[in-house]
Structure 1
Amino acid sequence: MSTNKVIHAIYNDDDVLMDAVRKTRIAHHHIEEVFTPFPVHGLDKAMGIAPTRLAICAFIYGCLGLTVATTMMDYIMIQDWPQDIGGKPSFSYIQNMPAFVPVMFEMTVFFAAHLMVVTFYMRSKLWPFKQAENPDVRTTDDHFLMEVAVSGNEEDMVSFFQNTGAVEVKVIEKH
C-alpha cells in the first residue's frame, strides 16, 4: 500500500484562499482538492478545472424525453386506443399535436432533470452509504482547506503556504 504526502493549508477567508490558489498554480504545485463551506465564485477557473459537459447531457436527456413522449402519445392516443375527444380527429398525430404539447414539455423536463441527477451522482462518485471524504470538519463551518501534493522540499512548501496567508499548514500522510 503506497503512501504519499499532502499538505493541508487552512484559510479563514475566501479571498485569501483565491489568492493562494492563484499563487499555488503559478508556483506549479498540484492542487488535489479544495474544501469550502460554501461555493466560492471563480474557484474552478482559478484551479484550472475544465468546464463541465453536463449541459450537453441535459440536452441529450431532454431530446430523449421528447422522443419518448412523442412515441408514447402516438402509440397510445392514435394507434392503440383512438378516441374522439372534443371533436379532434384520432387518425393523425400531427393534427392532435397542439393538445400534446404540455405532455411533451413535461416529459422533456422530467427526463432531463432526473437523468441529470443520476449522471451527476455517477460522475461525482456519490453512491449510497459512501463515507464522507472531508479531511477537516471546520470546512463545513467557516474554514477553507486546500490539499496540495507534496513535490520537492517539504519545508519549502510549508513556508510557501504560510506566506500565502494560511492560518494552519499540516503535512499529512495520505493512504
Structure 2
Amino acid sequence: MSSKVIHAFYNDDDVLMHAVKKVKAAKYHIEEVYCPFPVHGLDKAMGLAPTRLAIMSFMYGCIGLGVAITMMNYMMIQDWPQDIGGKPSFSYLENMPAFVPIMFELTVFFAAHLMVITFYMRSKLWPFKEAENPDVRTTDDHFLMEIEIHDNEAELKELLLSTGAVEINITEK
C-alpha cells in the first residue's frame, strides 16, 4: 500500500533544527531528514535512540587484542622461539613489553575494519547501491524533512511553512 508523504525543503541547517523541534512539539512523526552534511544535535532533536556502535567497537577491539595475544604467543613462544635482545623465549609474560605495539596495532586494526563492515551492513550501504535520497538537491545544498500524511495535509503544510520551509512537495512513497 502506498502512502503519501510531504517533503519540506530547507536551505539552512539552523532553520531545519528549529523546524524539527517545532514539528516534534506539534506531535508529528518525522520519517526521515536528508542532509548534505551531518547536523550536530539533529538526532536528539528527532528523538532517535543512541547508537550502540561504540559497544561493537569495544568488542571488536577485544577480539583484535585476543587475536594479537594468541598469534604472538604461538609465533614467538611456541612455534619459533627466538632470542631477541637477550629476552627469554619461553615465557609470554616476560616478553610482553616488546609485544605491546603489536597488540595495540591489531586492536585498532580489528576495531576499525570490523566497524566499517558493521556500519555498511547496518546502514545497508552496499557497493553499487542506488541512492535512496528523494531529491538530488539533498546532496548539495538543501535539507529535506519527510513526514507521512494521515488526512492532515492542510495543517501540516501550514505548520511547515511557518517553520521556514522554502518548498513543500507531496509525493507517493
What TM-score do the two structures reach when normalised by structure 1?
0.96
2:141 aligned residue = 142
Q: Does the residue aligned with 1:147 lie in a helix, a strand or coil?
A: strand
- Residue 28 in 1 paired to residue 27 in 2? yes
**Which deviates the most, 101-110 or 155-164?**
155-164
Q: Residues 148-159 of structure 1: matches in 2 within 5 Å? A: 148-159=147-158
CA distance in 1, matches of 2:170, 2:155: 12
CA distance in 2, matches of 1:77, 1:38: 47
Gaps of 5+ in 2: none
Q: Does the residue aligned with 2:146 lie in a helix, a strand or coil?
A: strand
**Which deviates the most, 147-156 or 14-23?**
147-156
One-letter code aligned to 1:102: P
1:97 aligned residue = 96
Conservation of the 8 A alpha-carbon contact between 1:29 and 1:151: no
> Structure 1: which 4+ aligned runs deviate by more than 3 Å?
none
CA distance in 2, matches of 1:82, 1:168: 71
2:120 aligned residue = 121
Q: Does the residue aligned with 1:8 lie in a helix, a strand or coil?
A: strand
CA distance in 2, matches of 1:12, 1:86: 63
Q: Does the residue aligned with 1:28 lie in a helix, a strand or coil?
A: coil
Q: Residues 3-152 of structure 1: matches in 2 within 5 Å? A: 3-152=2-151
State the shift of 1:152 in Å.
Answer: 2.9
Query: Number of matched residues?
Result: 173
Gaps of 5+ in 1: none
Deviations 1:16-47, CA, capped at 9 Å, x for gaps:
11111011111111111111111111111100
Determine what percentage of the aligned residue pairs are the same residue.
Answer: 73
**Which deviates the most, 104-113 or 23-32?**
23-32
State the shift of 1:50 in Å.
Answer: 1.0
State the shift of 1:141 in Å.
Answer: 1.5
Q: Does the residue aligned with 2:168 lie in a helix, a strand or coil?
A: strand
